[in-house]
Amino acid sequence: MNILVLGGGGREHAIAWSLAKSPRTDKLYVAPGNGGTADIARNVPDLAVEDGRAVLAFVEEHDVQLVVIGPEAPLVAGVADELREAGIAVFGPDAQGAQLEGSKTFSKRFMDAHGIPTARYGSFDDLEAALGYLSALEAPVVVKADGLAAGKGVIVAEDKETAEEAVRSCFDGAFGQAGSTVVIEECLTGPECSLLAFVSGGKAHCMATAQDHKRAFDGDRGPNTGGMGVYSPVPIVTADELAAMHEIMEQSAAATATDFANDYRGVLYGGFMLTPEGPKVLEFNARFGDPETQVVLPRLEADLVDIVLAVAEGRPDDIELRWSEQWAVCVVLASEGYPGAYEKGKVILGIEEAEELEGVTVFHAGTARNADGELVTAGGRVLNVVALGDSFDDAREKAYEACNLINFEGKQYRTDIGKKAAAGREAWN
């Protein structure tokens, strides 16, 4: 079949790479795509991926039978609604389901209504009311822009002054319309863990666990980013915690079938905190995680086309997941200055040499070709260097060996991805 993937980051490169391995895939399109997807699919750089009518027109013109939506913005914009109404199989929830990510207030109310364990919170569209609520709390607290902010709208404030500054910055437009409503939460403690699930027909088929590194710099210092590295599985998760997370994801999937007008068909991403009281949900996302996808899909031993088509067509009982016993570690190579201002157009060298290492795959996140055909940087997060290994340490060592073979001006990356987990659960005490 002909398949269209919407998105242009490392997640979409990993999705396209996995779909391309299926014998069921004929023509594969990625819109807009990047320098890496161009090697395995036809990029469609000019398609407006948040415009449902434009996407539908492309689908009809190119006889596309399946659309896989990578990022959250097209989901919130209702692209899946437009495609489904036209009878196209689409992997991704409709606009209502996507509000689990599109609005943190919507998501928290959903959790409250269904008894899903999460942090205590308040939601405000008025500055003075938000500051009044904040004054009654003890630090640390978490301040979140309600809407989509590309993974950067969450501020963990260690003191009241920082929290007040974060609230004011939201209302002053630091995150645009996304910050017009602000959610203030108690700060949960413990390690974080992501558990994604394929959801269809109110049923959840959970994937392998993964643990992202959000902070920009070593030692979990610096501002939050879209993710600087990740690994799978997560060795510090106990059997009881894993069972509890599975139960929460199944409970949440069942709730989508009762709360939402249409069947939720796509990925439900559970971001968890492993608190002393048990796992609690920090957030839900309505799509594959980035960069979690880059370590989860390389460990998937089932045919991704079979899976996403079963989800898209509402056949949850036909989903079968099998996972490799190998470990996967991903290190993100970023542009100098990220997540702040950065320059583009830096020539990238060494990817072919890195991929000659056994078990190493490089997924492109922010790359493009310049007028001379050279691969250059085109974003903040540039490359996702992924290594599979027979042990956690083996995968980590391979990933960093590969990172050292890749070069571009201003290359920055964390040198401690997975180091804390390798030291054991006590590293969080």
> Please, are residues 322 and 297 in contact by the beta-carbon 8 Å criterion?
no
218 is a domain residue: yes
3-state DSSP assignment of residue 424? coil
> Is the domain of 227 the same as that of 293?
yes
Please say which residue of 55, 76, 94 terminates a domain. Answer: 94
The residue range of the domain holding 223 is: 189-318
Same domain, 297 and 340: no
Indicate whether 348 and 312 sit together in one domain.
no
Based on the domain organization, do 259 and 310 belong to the same domain? yes
Say whether pLDDT at 150 is over 80: no
CATH code at position 298:
3.30.470.20
Rounded to whole angstroms, the Cα distance separating 177 from 254 reads 31
Which helix (H) or strand (E) is 206 found in, with range? strand 203-206
Q: What pLDDT score does 88 carry?
A: 98
pLDDT band per the 50, 70, 90 thresholds, residue 155:
confident
Instruction: Give the model's pLDDT for residue 369.
Output: 95
Same domain, 287 and 404: no
Instruction: Tell me the per-residue pLDDT of 238-283, one tens digit each, with 9 for 90 and over.
Output: 999 999 999 999 999 999 999 999 999 999 999 999 999 999 999 9
Q: What pLDDT is recorded for position 64?
A: 98
Instruction: Note whether residue 429 is domain-resident.
Output: no
Whether residue 213 sits in one domain with residue 293: yes
Which carries the bigger pLDDT value, residue 342 or residue 151? 342
Report which secondary-structure segment, H or E, holds 421.
helix 419-422
Query: Residue 298 is which amino acid?
Result: P
pLDDT tens profile 53-83:
999 999 999 999 999 999 999 999 999 999 9
CATH of residue 10's domain is: 3.40.50.20
pLDDT of residue 166: 92
| pLDDT given at position 154 | 87
My answer on whether 164 and 217 are in the same domain is no
Q: Is residue 423 assigned to a domain?
A: no
Question: Is residue 270 assigned to a domain?
Answer: yes
Domain boundary among 186, 216, 238: 186
- Are 165 and 285 contained in the same domain? no
For residue 115, being part of any structural domain is answered with: no
- Asked if residue 426 is part of any domain, the answer here is no
Same domain, 288 and 221: yes
In a domain, 43, yes or no: yes
Q: Is the pLDDT of residue 34 over 80?
A: yes
Cα-Cα-Cα-Cα dihedral sign, residues 253, 259, 264, 270:
negative
CB 301 within 8 A of CB 324: yes
Total tally of structural domains belonging to the chain: 4
Same-domain pairing of 170 and 85: no
Is residue 295 located within the same domain as residue 355? no
Q: Strand 192-200: give its sheet, edge to edge.
A: 203-206, 192-200, 266-275, 278-285
Output the average pLDDT for the chain: 96
Point out the domain boundary residue: 44, 76, 94.
94
What does pTM read for this prediction?
Answer: 0.95
Domain contains 180: yes
